[in-house]
Amino acid sequence: MSWKSPAVFLDRDGVLNRAVVRNGKPYPPASLEELEILPGVPEALGLLRQAGYRLLVVTNQPDVARGTQRREVVERMHHYLAEHLPLDGFYVCYEDGDACPERKPNPGLLWRAAQEHQLDLTLSFMVGDRWRDVEAGRRAGCRTIFLDYGYREKQPEAPEFRTTDLSAATRWILAFRNGTKEELCA
């Protein structure tokens, strides 16, 4: 039996970079010029990397299938993020509609990443800002963290931790790993 690594799966928009919010609903940036890495993200990812976590982006980008975004633009954004953040890979579903097994809330992207990177999903975390992220993590067997920005949309069911930024999520992950999770909940 070979040893498998833990991972932190990260949604892209609203977790790594600022989502564009219109009428209370989040949208991805339309261009590389609109892409803005959120404050504290590089530092948080650095701490997770030092703790031995693989860092993988899992993101739905259905605007490509809808024809309102070009795949090349999405890939340029991912290249930019990879240059500026310590990420181990990107897993993207470009489909629109829940029939695709890789489109969150389905866990296909996480399962594929786990197979390709030899990951232990039971030791891993999914961090996202929408119910689909939390549900995909739950279905894959990960612990789930919800970054709650108060969007006016469906809320996730029972994430294991709820916060408003990746820095707090990172502190929770590291405390959980060290067995001091209860201190953060007090």
Asked if 165 is an active-site residue, the reply is no
Catalytic residue among 13, 63, 129, 133: 13
Catalytic residue among 11, 63, 129, 133: 11
Please report where in the chains the tokens 């928009």 appear, as a residue. 13
Asked if 120 is an active-site residue, the reply is no
Q: Please report how many Cα atoms fall inside a 13 Å half-sphere around the Cα of residue 88, on the Cβ side.
A: 21
Task: Let me know: does 113 contact 55? Beta carbons within 8 Å.
Answer: no
Q: Contacts from 19-26 at CB under 8 Å and sequence distance 24+?
A: 19/129, 19/149, 21/149, 21/151, 23/152, 24/150, 24/151, 24/152, 24/153, 25/151, 25/152, 25/153, 26/129, 26/130, 26/149, 26/151
Amino acid, single-letter form, for residue 157:
E
Overall size of the chain counted in residues: 186
**Strands 25-27 vs 20-22: parallel, antiparallel or unpaired:** antiparallel
Report d(CA 48, CA 88) in Å as an integer.
12
Please report where in the chains the tokens 């919010």 appear, as a residue. 21
Give catalytic residue positions. 11, 13
